[in-house]
Amino acid sequence: MDGDAMKEKFIAAAVQMVSGTQVSANLDKAAKLVAEAAQHGAKLVVLPEYFCLMGQHDQDKVACREEYGHGPIQQALAELARQHGIWLA
């Protein structure tokens, strides 16, 4: 591997947030935090597990599940990654 490539700076961001019971509000909050991380140079941004919903019951998380590759949560995340030119997990 080229020595110069090993010297290239890579910034990753681990986002911490307090999620609530409304998916849309959680997506809005995540979008702001992802934008902030990207503005600080992050190329990889990692969101918490269940960032999109902290339900009151376990079945709440199951109720908002999406088919692989389809759904508003996946669309929002894909758009955030494209918009900021980052990898998002």
What is the predicted pLDDT for the residue at 57?
73
Q: Tell me the CA distances in angstroms from 40 to 7, 65, 86, one per residue in order.
A: 19, 31, 12
Half-sphere exposure of 62 (CA within 13 A, CB side): 3
Residue 4 in this model has a pLDDT that exceeds 70 = no
β-sheet bridge partners, residue 88: 45
pLDDT (mean) for 21-50? 96
How much is the pTM? 0.84
pLDDT given at position 2? 62
> What does the pLDDT average to over 70-81?
94
pLDDT for the residue numbered 14:
98
CA distance 83 to 12: 17
Residue 5 has pLDDT above 80, yes or no: no
